[in-house]
Structure 1
């Protein structure tokens, strides 16, 4: 499915992610190729990070998006957060309750494994089910790493797969390496996908059922 068939011009879209760079890695090309939509990026961690926070603001300018950052704990121990804390953080960052589309993490994350990705996905889906945020559709990122067997790549069966234009990918890669400053031989640069993939949910119940199924795997 091509992006022009799924992102309507003028759509009001929220991208809800755990970290500054997630918005670029997993859906930056889709944002760049749809400049006539109103994009808002809610990033739940690193607001007080003196390195990453200003870089995130520069990236928003390149993406022509608005955004806000939160400061959920993102320490190396990755201690689990209470779901209510994550939900509260999401609601505090969003500028409104209703969107045409919300995009967020896959319930089990994009690679093995990062708790914050999983927690953000679960919080967004539960908030939708509770009618605390409203959207016509929800996309989750669709990537996997074969349980650490290889770098993250699109899930082959993902319902939406977008092959980026060459110039779009080049800009996306430069955001990762030149703005965020990740080394060319590092995880982020090597991972940066040329094809972006998503699962689409039209109802909160369908998304919640998918979440529960994923949690039980």
Structure 2
């Protein structure tokens, strides 16, 4: 998953400009789950729609039943949730940082999802880079510095192998493989089945070195514009 070529606007046909806008991520926005507003409901609904799209939900166990259920789960799980739009104004990416309990250090990337129509163009890698940078530059609610970030991947479902490639390219290291680790519902049969998982991690100091690389700097600068 190499860094994609981002089209400039000079000399482009209008159709090319639309493609550029479609695949360009805007800076990540953190959801304020404590507020109760129409804007928050719209954000949660957009995130819920991404998570429960048939092409995405196979990558998650026990998906939420609606936007309200999603909000309650995020609040209960100590998850800092971020969304990103493209330049056309569509919510195209979402994900969270699930913080470890007090005196623990296993903070996880969770519920990372990209609009299925836009997958395969490097957007997932860019969004994950933004999430990782947020995790290591912001503190937990109780003031802790995150020293490590983990990610768990459900294996052997369609296109599961995209995530390991993205994580590896961002400096994550493989930790272990667990057979029959998690239960999901088969989308075709509706039958529950167990799937193996992989666990990956990156240390804070390793990310600080990674973010000095030209390609990572380019991604982060685009997300800060």
**Fold shared per TM-score above 0.5:** no
- Structure with higher RCO (Cα < 8 A, 6+ apart): 1
Q: Structure 2 length as normaliser, TM-score? A: 0.38
Question: Whose Rg is larger?
Answer: 2
